[in-house]
Amino acid sequence: MSFLDQQYREIITKAVIGKGRKFTQETNTITPTHRPSSILGCWIINHNYHAKLVKKDTVEIYGSYEANVWYAYNDNTKTEVVSERVEYCDTVSLSIRDKQQLGDDCDVVAKVIQQPNCLECTIDTRGNKIKVDVEREFLVEVIGDTKICVKVDPKGKVYEDEDWDLSISDEELESLDPDFLADNDDEE
């Protein structure tokens, strides 16, 4: 019995063929121009990233952000903001993967679950550097061609336009509210 005799069809379509998730915490060290006395604030801005499939089961996310630290120096008599660009590469293993994918032309979509965020900002024990603890989290999806198999119903009904009764019965017509579409000119 051949494949066609069994009334099955294979359909090639785009689908999510791989997924992965990665949470990262790291400490960045920033060197200010002055010896800090205290930390007044820290924020992360200008986050940019792109993702790339590097192996059949791994995606790398290359990104950067700016860590801005507002600190006091000179025995808390002066303040300054130091900004430093931080680059990173997160390797995300695909925990869900379709081993039957077709071809190598895949699109990678990376979604930020948690934007880079400052957890803690402290003065290093040596006193001349600032430590910034940052967290971030990504979800990645690999989209590619895949094959699905569907069963064809040989007794399936083919609908003609007249099979779809779109007419309104007298009961339905009588139940319509004629004031439903009120004239808006009365409100002006």
Distance CA 23, CA 171 (A): 60
Residues 49-62 have pLDDT tens digits of: 999 998 888 899 99
Residues 119-153 have pLDDT tens digits of: 999 999 887 899 999 999 999 999 988 888 888 87
| Residues whose CB is less than 8 angstroms from the CB of residue 91 and which lie 6 or more positions away in sequence, other chains included | 22, 58, 59, 60
86: nearest Cα among 40, 143, 29, 158? 29
Planar angle of CA 182, 184, 188, nearest 5 degrees: 145
Distance CA 132, CA 118 (A): 7
| Residues whose CB is less than 8 angstroms from the CB of residue 31 and which lie 6 or more positions away in sequence, other chains included | 82, 84, 128, 129, 130
| Residues whose CB is less than 8 angstroms from the CB of residue 141 and which lie 6 or more positions away in sequence, other chains included | 16, 18, 19, 108, 109, 111
pLDDT-based confidence at residue 188 (cuts at 50, 70, 90) = very low
pLDDT-based confidence at residue 1 (cuts at 50, 70, 90) = very low
